[in-house]
Amino acid sequence: MLRIAVQSKGRLFEDTMALLSEADIKVSSSKRTLLVQSTNFPVEVLYLRDDDIPQSVASGVADLGIVGENEFKERNEDAEIVDRLGFSKCRLSLAIPKESKYEGVEWFNGKKIATSYPMILRKFLDKNNVKADIHVITGSVEISPGIGLADGIFDIVSSGSTLVSNNLKEVEVVMKSEALLIRNKQMDEDKMKTLQELLFRFDAVRSAQDKKYVMMNAPKSNLREIVEVLPGIKSPTIIPLADDEWCSIHTVLDEKCFWEIIGKLKELGAQGILVTPIEKMIL
């Protein structure tokens, strides 16, 4: 049985539990239980603090872990990245008081920077030949300049609203981060087989994201033009109708280009366009 370590709270916890649910892996998200076994898949979930996950996987306490790339890089543990999961995206950035004039990274020379990610920050500063004092802090890093604890901060940024509310501005993006699936390097063959099944399910869930299944009736006289408009997975399915001059077309569309394509289809005579969400998609 695979043991997978996940964050016990926060946005990454919510996104992870949603992924497991969509992959039909049933586990309890009770905050009172540290270790929970799935009722329908050979996996058990170990709830941990995010900064403990890389070490737990590297040491073999857990076989797998879902952790932010920022924490994985900061902890620098000997575990292997299996997959990038595409959610919980953010960035690690340097920020300074809004009123400060900023002309480049050399602004930080001689300054004090508050952060929870000293290793990543030190590598960045050394790479740019910047000599700054790193002040390690946990909790609300963004308040540090306002109370005189630091001149700037290095912290996670998602929407940027927290920076704005603390009168700060983002000046340097040091790295981008997303949720990673990591594994212990010593997993045995049976566990690797279970991991492949887990990855198969995750891929099916992600393939369906932002996709719509579209069905429509269309005149055969415009069939070639309609097919050229449709960017299907391979090619659309075309089904004859009782009316010899019409056919039914089924395809999959990406939501990002959905409305633009629907407009073109209507211009080419498509009617009765039916759109449904896709839960899973096996490629």
pLDDT digits over 67-83, tens only? 999 999 999 999 999 99
Q: Are 273 and 263 in contact (CB under 8 A)?
A: no
pLDDT tens per residue, range 97-140: 999 999 999 999 999 999 999 999 999 999 999 999 999 998 88
What CA–CA distance (Å, rounded) separates 190 from 192?
5
- pLDDT higher than 70, residue 262: yes
Task: Identify the structural domains of the chain with CATH numbers, from first to last.
Answer: 2-87+178-207 (3.40.190.10), 90-177 (3.40.190.10), 211-277 (3.30.70.120)
What number is the average pLDDT over the span 21-25?
94
In whole angstroms, give the CA distance from residue 199 to residue 85.
10
Nearest residue to 219 (alpha-carbon basis) of 190, 245, 182, 187: 245
156-182: average pLDDT: 95
Confidence class for position 195, pLDDT limits 50, 70, 90: very high
**Is the pLDDT higher at 196 or at 260?**
196
270 vs 240: CA distance, rounded Å: 14
Question: Does pLDDT of 47 surpass 70?
Answer: yes
Q: In sequence order, which residues have a C-beta less than 8 Å from that of residue 263 and are 6 or more positions away? A: none
Q: For residue 250, what are its two tokens?
A: 């089924």
Single pTM value for the model: 0.84
Q: Which stretches does DSSP call E strand in 2-86? A: 2-7, 35-37, 43-48, 64-68, 80-84
